[in-house]
Chains A and B, each alone.
Chain A
Amino acid sequence: MKMLLECGAKPVDSHVDEKTEKSWSFMRKMLFGLTPGQYLGQALRNPFNWILGIIFAIGLPLIAYRFLFGLSVVTHGSNDYPWGLFLGFGLFAMVPLSASGFMLGTAVEIFGRHDFKPIERLALLNGLLGYLFAVIYLMVDLGQPWRLPYPMVVSFGPAAVLFLVAWHVATYLSVQVAEVSVSFFEWIGWLGGKRYIKKITIGLTVAGIILSTLHQGALGALFSYAPGKVHPLWYSASFQWILFFCSAIPAGLCMVIVVSTVVKKTMAWRCDANFLDNLDRCTLGLAKGASMGLITYLAIKLISVAHDNEWGYLTTGWGTWFLLEMAVGVVLPIMLFAYAIRHNFVGLARFGAGITVFGIILNRLNTALITFNWQLYQEIPHIFEVIISVTIFAVYVVVYRFILYRLPILFVWKEQPQEALATEAVKAAPIRTTPSPAGAMYRKMD
């Protein structure tokens, strides 16, 4: 890509080709402004694509194998370990790492922190894709994935925590599609859709906070069903859902830092100055948020150990493993963040974010897989289970990159003059036709 840029290629960031003053065709938009030849060339030159190719060549047939011959041929799923890597990593780790959407949405839209605006769309997209792929991991793991809509339409088990997870993840996915669709509407040039979403932004954001609070917590509450199976240090009858919810906050924020770091390193050409210039400042801001989340999480974790009087377990082998998880996944990033924020070391903050992401994944794997059935025996995932998990993650990366290359996530879409005019006109016109009670009250307060 660098080579093409030097030759004068310029990625699409508006509806009109600046050189020819003609509108981009859909095809050229799909190739982000390159000619088919250029596109193919850059794709083939990128060694990462070859790695992906190898992963898909091995992984996709394995996924087909799983659907043709059942779970037993690719997983070590058993009657004692019903949940393996697909859920332990795919669902329980991907969902907290996708908490970024509601966190940044809240900061920007609810608290009016518009200084985080440059990174908001990346956070929203990160949320959407994380959830989408958590559902895809789930589909691979479910015995009969074609029955996934059953809890919605066929048979209801409303007293079950999983019922709540299913409904909330489904609803939240739609909310996130709506939130991210703004970029898509800009890209296809349908301003009506964009305006409509803008109008309901606050509603969507608040809905996002509610749904996130509940299902991030609900994933933790799922383990409250298994008090004798999860190791006591990773289990807390009273606080399990709060622990999962609270740790999702630093997880989501740090995932955005990690993704933005990768983006900055590998696709700087796609970012505009607004993104690149603000990234360091935003990163430190996110790191501040993440360290507060981590400190709160650490406090709740200590309280839950004290509450259930589990100090005795700390001296056992599992206790050492627990202390290691806390030291590496929680305490170390807190210290790194503190130092980085104090001295404005953005690189250190990025490193801390990477460690936090690792810590969260470790925590979820510990809860769901490693310490699960601690009184029975240790299950080691099947090699095919690992390969399929990696493959789905590779698909996630490809989809992520596909969208970042095209939609205005990392850059601001340049509107055409007449469209800009139209937006101006809409902004100027009084659209407050039916004042709501809350709105009226607010005006009175003014």
Chain B
Amino acid sequence: MSGISRRRFLAASVAGCAATTLAGPKKALAAGSFTGYSDGMGVLVDLTRCIGCRSCEAACNKEQNLPAPDRPFDDQTVFDETFHGGKQKRRPDENAYTVVNRYNPESSDHPLFRKVQCNHCNEPACLSSCFVNAYTKTKEGAVVYNPKVCVGCRNCMIACPFNIPGYSYSSAFDPVVKKCIFCHETRLKNGLPPACVDICPQEALTFGKRRDLLKIGNQRIQTHPGRYVDHIYGEKELGGTSWMYLSSVPFEEVGFDPNPGNEPIINNVKDFLGTVPMVLAIWPAMFTGFHLLAKKRDGHDDHDQDADQHNGEEGGEQ
């Protein structure tokens, strides 16, 4: 079955006995790997078709009721914006869930445009790092979150390998994490494509079931051997993502991490989570044992009586 529903189920069961079985379910939750819901939806972004019109940004802004931008959406000069010493291009934040950036790749005679938004991972790092379980991977494929429980630790932003979630730092009383939710509430749930896909005049964005999109992507690569790099970014990267990319130039030239690995982020943490129940199980006996050995050697101990009486209780002490 799916990892997520198991995760949810265990989270609920933990509610009853959180204090005592703290680490018991952790290993179980971390175990196994999840490759996405079979009928999950996705979007295939074809960089060769994008012309940088930014209408997807405008559609997203309207659909999600985001504040009006400083510069209008038909202003192309935003592509010249760089930050932090020219090292960084625009990124999604609390006021814009998606942005389009322009790149001038070496292996291409014309600029390429890349739309950035949440990639809706199969095994999202944000979800697995959230200690209040605010994130959910829905069966439709979206990674959504519940702002009502967000404490504001911002661990999801640390964990996200694509640097997607933004945070409303300027809000004093209700700051929350904000990111693209695949238009889940207004569209995806009802089987509709997200606003950005709907509006794209170039059909650069293709909406469909993830497994079908993989077929379409491979078909395009085969039909036009010279046009594409033989790789669908997001098919396997970091455990696979619902949003995937086709490109005519090597992916690192258009701002992708060329080698993020195929393991989902949670796999990095499994080693540690696996040791937790063992520490809980072994340490009490081991250290009480050390205590007994140390006392035996000394032949004298102030705590003799007290300690003896309570040696049996350590198990319940955690």
Contact surface of A with B, Cβ cutoff 8 Å = 67-73, 75, 77-80, 82-83, 106, 109-112, 114, 142-145, 147-148, 150-152, 154-168, 171, 198-207, 209-211, 213-214, 217-218, 221-229, 237-238, 240-241, 376-377, 427, 430-439, 442-443, 445
A contact residues around B131 at 8 Å (CB): 151, 157, 160, 162-163, 165-166
Q: Are B163 and A79 in contact (CB under 8 A)?
A: yes
B216 in the interface, Cβ–Cβ < 8 Å?
no
Q: Are B309 and A143 in contact (CB under 8 A)?
A: no
Q: Are B175 and A431 in contact (CB under 8 A)?
A: no
Complex Cα distance A206/B280, Å? 10
A contact residues around B310 at 8 Å (CB): 199-200, 202-203, 436
Contact surface of B with A, Cβ cutoff 8 Å = 7, 10-12, 14-15, 18-19, 22-23, 25-26, 29-30, 83-85, 87-88, 91, 93, 125, 128-134, 146, 149-155, 157-159, 161, 163, 165-167, 169-172, 174-176, 257, 260-261, 265-266, 268-269, 271-273, 275-276, 279-280, 283-284, 287-288, 290-292, 294-298, 301-303, 305-314, 317-318
Q: Are B132 and A157 in contact (CB under 8 A)?
A: yes
Complex Cα distance A438/B186, Å? 62
Q: Are A144 and B174 in contact (CB under 8 A)?
A: yes
The answer, among A112, A205, A227, for a CB contact under 8 Å with B268, is A227
Q: Are B312 and A439 in contact (CB under 8 A)?
A: yes
Known: A160-B129, A442-B311. A218 touches B272 (CB 8 A): yes
Q: Are A156 and B14 in contact (CB under 8 A)?
A: yes
* Extra inter-chain contacts (17) besides given A83-B158, A142-B153, CB under 8 Å: A143-B150, A143-B169, A150-B132, A155-B133, A157-B131, A158-B14, A159-B128, A198-B306, A199-B306, A200-B313, A203-B313, A207-B318, A210-B280, A224-B268, A225-B128, A237-B271, A438-B292
Q: For residue B89, give the distance in angstroms from its CB to the closest CB of chain A.
A: 11
B contact residues around A377 at 8 Å (CB): 83-85, 87-88
Q: For residue A312, give the distance in angstroms from its CB to the closest CB of chain B.
A: 15
Known: A203-B310, A206-B287, A434-B309. A225 touches B155 (CB 8 A): yes
Complex Cα distance A160/B131, Å? 5
Complex Cα distance A201/B166, Å? 46
Known: A155-B134, A158-B11, A209-B283. A204 touches B311 (CB 8 A): no
Complex Cα distance A160/B270, Å? 10
Complex Cα distance A152/B154, Å? 18
Q: Are B129 and A112 in contact (CB under 8 A)?
A: no
B contact residues around A439 at 8 Å (CB): 308-309, 311-312
Q: Are A164 and B23 in contact (CB under 8 A)?
A: yes
The answer, among B294, B298, B317, for a CB contact under 8 Å with A200, is B317
Complex Cα distance A288/B95, Å? 55
Known: A106-B287, A237-B268, A439-B312. A158 touches B84 (CB 8 A): no
Q: Are B29 and A222 in contact (CB under 8 A)?
A: no
Q: For residue A256, give the distance in angstroms from its CB to the closest CB of chain B.
A: 20
Q: For residue A279, give the distance in angstroms from its CB to the closest CB of chain B.
A: 21
Q: For residue A228, give the distance in angstroms from its CB to the closest CB of chain B.
A: 6
Name the 7 nearest CB pairs between A and B, nearest first.
A143-B152, A436-B312, A82-B154, A377-B84, A157-B133, A225-B159, A72-B169
